[in-house]
């Protein structure tokens, strides 16, 4: 077993987050405990509590890393020509969710104890993702006001989240046989172009 002096605190924190992430990838939220993270990196559970306030804090930080990773792929997709951005962004979103179903589920399965709020640094990550997409799709939106772009983007995000959540939980087939990302493309086209938008694909 590694000794505590073998790693600096930031190195230990990185190891613990990577271990937690690996456990979630393998087993989902139900498999994640402080003890299992500690065992995986070769330290005592008390060491984890020196790095994170509790298991909830650890999970929030795993989720933050997932949002950071999503931001990177969306930024890349947003580099496309404006006309191609909707398709690229939807595909990037679904590629991300489908490649990390349990990490994605963790974002929405985990609930903080009653009375506890997300840390101040977490919410801006979500806001930045919405702003990124709103800016990328802005040139294609019929109403160019900032408030309208923001509202439309939140609506698209919520719709895509619903589709992807149903898909990764194998529940989408109960209501539709359409491929999930095809529904995603349809949703975004309709939001951007209205009822007359092309519904094929």
pLDDT, tens digit, 9 for 90 and up, residues 137-173? 999 987 778 888 889 999 999 999 999 888 888 888 7
Q: Tell me, yes or no, whether 127 and 36 share the same domain.
A: no
- State which residues form the domain around 128: 56-193
Structural domain includes residue 41: yes
* 98 shares its domain with 174: yes
- Same domain (yes/no): 18, 31: yes
Quick: pLDDT tens for 120-142.
Answer: 999 999 899 999 999 999 999 87
Give the global pTM. Answer: 0.86
- Kindly give the residue spans of alpha helices, DSSP state H, lying in the chain: 9-27, 34-41, 45-51, 55-77, 85-99, 101-109, 123-137, 146-168, 180-193
Count of domains observed in the chain: 2
Q: Are residues 19 and 63 in the same domain?
A: no
> Scanning the structure block, which residue is given the tokens 């020196």?
50
Do 23 and 83 lie in one domain? The reply is no
Domain boundary among 52, 71, 86: 52
160 with 71, same domain: the answer is yes
Residue closest to 30 by CA, chosen among 102, 97, 104: 102
Domain match, 181 and 159 both: yes
Kindly state whether residues 68 and 41 are assigned to the same domain: no
Query: Do both 41 and 118 map to the same domain?
Result: no
CATH number at residue 106: 1.10.357.10
- Write the pLDDT tens digit of every residue in 30-60: 999 999 999 999 999 999 999 999 999 999 9
- Same structural domain, 16 and 40: yes
Q: How high is the mean pLDDT of the chain? A: 89
The CATH number for 32's domain is: 1.10.10.60
């Amino acid at each position: 077993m590694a000794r505590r002096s073998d790693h600096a605190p930031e190195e230990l924190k990185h190891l613990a987050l990577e271990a937690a992430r690996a456990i979630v990838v393998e087993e989902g939220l139900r498999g994640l405990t402080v003890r299992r993270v500690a065992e995986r990196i070769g330290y005592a559970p008390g060491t984890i509590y020196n790095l994170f306030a509790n298991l909830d804090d650890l999970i929030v930080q795993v989720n933050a890393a997932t949002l950071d990773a999503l931001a990177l792929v969306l930024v890349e997709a947003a580099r496309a020509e404006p006309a191609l951005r909707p398709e690229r962004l939807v595909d990037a979103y679904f590629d991300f969710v489908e490649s990390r179903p349990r990490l994605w589920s963790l974002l929405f399965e985990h609930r903080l104890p009653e009375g506890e709020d997300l840390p101040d640094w977490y919410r801006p990550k979500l806001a930045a993702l919405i702003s990124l997409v709103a800016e990328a799709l802005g040139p294609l939106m019929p109403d160019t006001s900032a408030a309208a772009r923001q509202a439309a983007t939140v609506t698209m995000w919520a719709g895509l989240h619903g589709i992807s959540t149903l898909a990764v939980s194998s529940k989408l087939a109960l209501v539709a046989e359409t491929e999930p990302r095809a529904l995603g493309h349809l949703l975004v086209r309709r939001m951007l172009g209205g009822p007359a938008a092309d519904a094929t694909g």
